[in-house]
Amino acid sequence: MRSLLTVRKVLLSVAALIVLAALISVLGGSMIWYLGGAHRLDIDGTAQTTARPAATIDVGGGWGYYGGDPGGHRYSRAAEITASNVALLAPAWEYRTGDLTDRADHMERAATEGTPILAGDALVFCTPFNEVIALDPDTGGERWRFDPRIDLGQDPANQFVCRGVTHWRDADASAPCASRIFMGTNDARLIAIDAATGDRCPGFGDRGEVRIDPGMPLLWPGEFQITSPPVVVRDTVVVGSAIGDNARVLAPAGSVRAFDARTGVARWDWDPIPRTANDPAALTWQGAQPPIEGHANAWAPMSVDEERGLVFVPTSSPSPDFYGGLRPGSNRHANSVVALEAETGHVRWSFQTVHHDIWDYDVPAQPGLYSVWRDGALHDVVAQVTKTGFVFVLDRDTGKPFLPVEERPVPQNGAPGEWLSPTQPFPAAPPPIVPNRLSADDAFGLTLFDRLQCRARITESLAGGLYTPPSERGTLLYPFTGGGANWGGAAYDPARNLLIVNMNSVAHHIQLIPAEQVNAMRKVFHDQEVSPQAGAPFGMKREVLLSPFGVPCTPPPWGVLAAVDLSTGKIVWRKALGEMGGVTLGLPSLGGPIVTAGGLVFIGATMDDTLRAFDVATGELLWRWQLPAAGMATPLTYVWKGRQYVVIYAGGNPTAQGRLGDTLIAFSVPPQ
């Protein structure tokens, strides 16, 4: 379950951006800030950082995992590309998957979010339709491709998505299919592929695949998917799921499932929602026993600490998102970072980022397993970026806050029958990366007319700040359900203790609808999101808070890139990310950053179809390249035959209404 469908809906329409660009060019860049009203977020402050001894850094070799390494650093020791030569960076090769022509009829339902991995001597990635392709890392030439032939007639709840694949080597190098690629599919299969040939591994499951049973009949084909890469700990492969939001209360369970990496035999499954009264978490689920709700699934990427034998799982909200009166209590393990023992699936510890979530504030990104340099020593932590704009930094062994977290009172007076947590966890450090309170004075507009319209929308809604409960009147969620942060996650520079993260700053208007009125509202608002939340007393209507011109009513920047010192929680620098009409307004983004030992941050993600490089210490923009479509995926970097490459999958996103593509592009500095 996730709200990425809505983050895609927020991505500004092309028509609105054309209007915006035209107005900027006519009025001048400075005028846009006057028209926009209050601009409360300082995005220009910078501070210098000090690198720690290189001997303490033991990550960043190659890019053998979705997040660079099992802990998701998204960091590389490659240093051939630096601030002094990044201006020379240019395309070295391109590879077209053929989706734009071969699957043209389905591209409007496909999101290109994949990050390749360097598996042995091949660059391996998956397309949105779960084709797995292996390329020569030096030339981009195709080695092999595998097509699982997913059902393209299904209606995927979260679009056709494949963020990545996983590589595993059997300790017995002589075993059949000893080097294999694992992938989860949009039609809920876990498939094992021979990394050398692209053939199925016949000893795994049924002819190379295991079909995941969602546990109940689906409302429609596509309600249950796998969109993020599996993880492997020793010889156990673990997979989560993505499940359609807000259709019903009694929905598929968000179980995390583990299988033998050689045979595909099931080893364990863990349901975040307690189903027995003797489960210690049951005390925090005070409704029906056992609970009737589903989900709390792990749709975002997971992380692995092989030494500790732990899988770190980011869980989402229970079903449905916007009414929780049937599940009183804090709902432990939902909306949490959970450390599971890879051998058994037992919970080692769990930290909840949102109590009793009724805002769709899933934990949306891979937990970062980093070592923070403080007081002359390294401290193993888990850093979790969130949709609310917060960053929680936890001790990796205990789950207790490494940087302080406070329980603070939050708004009450929910809908009839609702249960609300009186407090929510707020990090004392770092401060929020993006704002979380919106007033009428903050209303943005291109003209006085649409600014006044935005003011009126804010005034007529409940806008009590973060954690204001959904209502029949209409409530503003700020940040919106797409973040803050989302699946792109963060990158970590271990030499500087710097966490690099991109976040969005847009609002949602959420309105609860009495159940008996949902069908009528669907007819009236047939072109908007109206969901039944069947089994609950309320359905819901969700829309991005936009002006009549289709531009966010929230003040820019609508997207930022920030660096946080994880030893202190201080925001070292914060910049608007993305531009239009020559003005750096900051645009909503999908995808994440990477960091290199060359002192650079690379990130695509934005709607302006641009790959950028920033100075990691200061946030200074150093280089940019126009892509054939938006690079709404996380890039990777690697060194091959002494040459460093930066690669991004440029495919765009159909609901961003921009150009679509099917191109993998590799950049390098040309030989001198």
Domains of the chain from N-terminus onward? 4-668 (2.140.10.10)
Residue 261 has pLDDT above 70, yes or no: yes
φ, ψ for residue 27 (rounded to 5)? -85, -25
pLDDT of residue 57: 64
Alpha carbon of 52 to those of 56, 493, 650: distances in Å? Answer: 8, 10, 35
Residue 380 has pLDDT above 50, yes or no: yes
pLDDT of residue 46: 54
pLDDT of residue 97: 98
19 versus 515: the higher-pLDDT residue is 515
**Widest pairwise Cα distance in the chain:** 72
Task: State which H helix or E strand residue 452 sits in.
Answer: helix 448-460
Q: How confident is the model at residue 17 (pLDDT cuts 50, 70, 90)?
A: low
Is the distance from CB of 125 to CB of 71 less than 8 angstroms?
A: no
pLDDT of residue 58: 78
Across 106-144, b (16+ Cβ under 10 Å) vs e yields: bbebbbbbbbbbbbeebbbbbbbbbbbbbbebbebeebb
276-331 pLDDT, tens digit each = 989 999 999 999 988 999 999 999 999 999 999 999 999 999 999 999 999 999 99
Q: How confident is the model at residue 47 (pLDDT cuts 50, 70, 90)?
A: low
pLDDT of residue 459: 97
- Report, as an integer, the average pLDDT of 588-593: 96
pLDDT of residue 34: 35
Instruction: Say which range, 43-57, 367-381, 457-471, 511-525, has the weakest mean pLDDT.
Output: 43-57
Q: Is 615 helix (H, G, I), strand (E, B) or coil?
A: strand
pLDDT of residue 580: 83
- Report, as an integer, the average pLDDT of 625-633: 96
Residue 3 has pLDDT above 80, yes or no: no
Q: How confident is the model at residue 134 (pLDDT cuts 50, 70, 90)?
A: very high
Q: How many residues does the chain have?
A: 672
Residue 50 has pLDDT above 80, yes or no: no
User: Which residues 6+ apart lie within 8 Å of 598 measured at CB?
Assistant: 78, 79, 80, 81, 82, 83, 86, 644
Q: How confident is the model at residue 658 (pLDDT cuts 50, 70, 90)?
A: confident
pLDDT of residue 672: 79
pLDDT over 70 for what percent of the chain? 91
400-451 pLDDT, tens digit each = 999 999 999 999 999 999 999 999 999 999 999 999 999 999 999 989 999 9
Alpha carbon of 474 to those of 144, 185, 320, 361, 463: distances in Å? Answer: 52, 37, 17, 17, 9
172-217 pLDDT, tens digit each = 999 999 999 999 999 999 999 999 999 999 999 999 999 999 999 9
pLDDT of residue 297: 98
Q: How confident is the model at residue 53 (pLDDT cuts 50, 70, 90)?
A: low
Residue 29 has pLDDT above 90, yes or no: no
671: Cα within 13 Å, side-chain hemisphere: 3
Q: How confident is the model at residue 52 (pLDDT cuts 50, 70, 90)?
A: low
Gap between the terminal Cα atoms of the chain: 49
Task: State which H helix or E strand residue 380 sits in.
Answer: strand 377-385
432-443 pLDDT, tens digit each = 999 999 999 999
pLDDT of residue 573: 98
- Report, as an integer, the average pLDDT of 213-228: 97
pLDDT of residue 44: 53
Residue 654 has pLDDT above 90, yes or no: no
- State the Cα–Cα distance between residues 375 and 233, nearest whole angstrom: 32
The question of whether 442 is a catalytic residue gets the answer no
- State the Cα–Cα distance between residues 324 and 358, nearest whole angstrom: 6
pLDDT of residue 560: 98
- Report, as an integer, the average pLDDT of 40-49: 53
Q: Which of 245, 360, 493, 608 is catalytic?
A: 360
Residue 139 has pLDDT above 80, yes or no: yes
Residue 32 has pLDDT above 80, yes or no: no
pLDDT of residue 581: 81
pLDDT of residue 582: 84
pLDDT of residue 30: 35
pLDDT of residue 391: 98
Task: Return the amino acid letter for 516.
Answer: E
